[in-house]
Amino acid sequence: MMKEKFALISVYNKNGLKNLCDSFFKNDIKIISTGSTAKHILSLGFPCKSVSNVTKFKEILDGRVKTLHPNIHASLLFNRKINRHVKSFNKLKFPIIDFLIVNLYPFAKIIKKTSDFSKCIEMIDIGGPALLRSSSKNHEFVTTICDIEDYKSLINELNRNLGFTTLDFRKKMAQKAYATTAKYDSTISNWLNKNKTHHFKIRNHKKITLRYGENPNQKSFFYNNQSKNTFLDNILQGKKISYNNILDIDSAINCLNEFSEPTCIIIKHNNPCGVSSCKRILSAYKKAHLADPISAFGGIVALNRLVTLNLAKQMSNNFYEIIIANNFTKPALKIFSKKKKLIIIKRKNLLIDKKQDIKSINAGYIFQDKNLSKINLKNIYCVSNIKASKKTLEDLIFSLRVCKHVKSNSIVLAKNKQTIGIGAGQMSRIDATKLSLMKTSNHKKKIGFVAASDAFFPFTDNLKLLIKNNCKSVIQPKGSVNDDKTIKCANSYGLPLYFSNYRFFRH
- pLDDT tens per residue, range 177-192: 988 888 888 888 877 7
Nearest to 99 by CA among 32, 45, 15, 180: 32
Average pLDDT value for residue range 371-390:
93
Nearest to 421 by CA among 469, 382, 375, 374: 469
Please report the pLDDT score of residue 111 as a whole number: 79
Q: How far apart are CA 305 and CA 231, in angstroms?
A: 16
pLDDT greater than 90 at residue 490:
yes
pLDDT band, very low/low/confident/very high, at 344 (cuts 50, 70, 90): very high
Q: Which helix (H) or strand (E) holds 268?
A: strand 263-268
CA dihedral for 47, 52, 58, 63, sign (positive or negative): negative
pLDDT greater than 50 at residue 199:
no
Query: Please, which contacts does 391-399 make with residues 24 or more away whose CB atoms are closer than 8 Å?
Result: 392/450, 392/472, 392/473, 392/496, 393/498, 395/449, 395/450, 395/473, 396/450, 396/452, 396/473, 396/474, 396/475, 396/498, 397/475, 398/275, 398/277, 399/450, 399/451, 399/452, 399/475
pLDDT greater than 80 at residue 202:
no
Of the residues 30, 137, 434, 446, only one is catalytic, namely 137
pLDDT greater than 90 at residue 290:
yes
Q: List beta partners, residue 320.
A: 299
What is 376-500's CATH number, 3.40.50.720, 3.40.50.300, 3.40.140.20, 3.40.50.970?
Answer: 3.40.140.20
Average pLDDT value for residue range 89-102:
86
Sheet containing 411-414: which strands, arranged edge to edge?
380-382, 497-500, 471-477, 449-453, 411-414, 419-423
**Phi, psi at residue 234, to the nearest 5°?**
-120, 20
Confirm whether 269 is a catalytic residue. yes
**Phi, psi at residue 181, to the nearest 5°?**
-70, -35
Please report the pLDDT score of residue 2 as a whole number: 44
Tell me the per-residue pLDDT of 119-154, one tens digit each, with 9 for 90 and over: 888 877 778 888 898 888 888 889 999 998 999 999
Of the residues 269, 443, 446, 485, only one is catalytic, namely 269
User: Where does CATH 3.40.50.1380 sit in the chain?
Assistant: 5-194
Bridge-based pairing state of the strands 497-500 and 380-382: antiparallel
Please report the pLDDT score of residue 229 as a whole number: 65
CATH homologous superfamily, domain 5-194: Methylglyoxal synthase-like domain (3.40.50.1380)
Average pLDDT across the chain, whole number: 87
Tell me the per-residue pLDDT of 64-94, one tens digit each, with 9 for 90 and over: 666 678 888 888 888 888 888 788 877 878 8
Please report the pLDDT score of residue 198 as a whole number: 46
Bridge-based pairing state of the strands 96-103 and 49-50: unpaired
Average pLDDT value for residue range 214-236:
80
Greater confidence (344 vs 50) lies with 344
Please report the pLDDT score of residue 279 as a whole number: 95
Please report the pLDDT score of residue 310 as a whole number: 96
% of the chain with per-residue pLDDT over 90: 51
Please report the pLDDT score of residue 33 as a whole number: 87
Please report the pLDDT score of residue 231 as a whole number: 78
User: Where does CATH 3.40.140.20 sit in the chain?
Assistant: 202-349, 376-500
Q: Is the pTM of this model over 0.85?
A: no
Confirm whether 87 is a catalytic residue. no
pLDDT greater than 60 at residue 340:
yes
Bridge-based pairing state of the strands 263-268 and 299-303: antiparallel
Bridge-based pairing state of the strands 49-50 and 380-382: unpaired
Cis before 409? omega within 30: yes
Q: Which helix (H) or strand (E) holds 106?
A: none
What is 202-349's CATH number, 3.40.140.20, 3.40.630.40, 3.90.70.10, 3.90.420.10?
Answer: 3.40.140.20
Q: List beta partners, residue 322.
A: 300, 343
Helices (H), 292-369: 293-296, 309-316, 330-336
Burial 268-284 (b: 16+ CB within 10 A, else e): bbbbbbbbbbbeebbeb
Tell me the per-residue pLDDT of 305-334, one tens digit each, with 9 for 90 and over: 999 999 999 999 999 999 999 999 999 999
Average pLDDT value for residue range 420-431:
95
pLDDT band, very low/low/confident/very high, at 1 (cuts 50, 70, 90): very low
Q: How far apart are CA 507 and CA 505, in angstroms?
A: 7
pLDDT greater than 80 at residue 404:
yes
pLDDT greater than 50 at residue 254:
yes
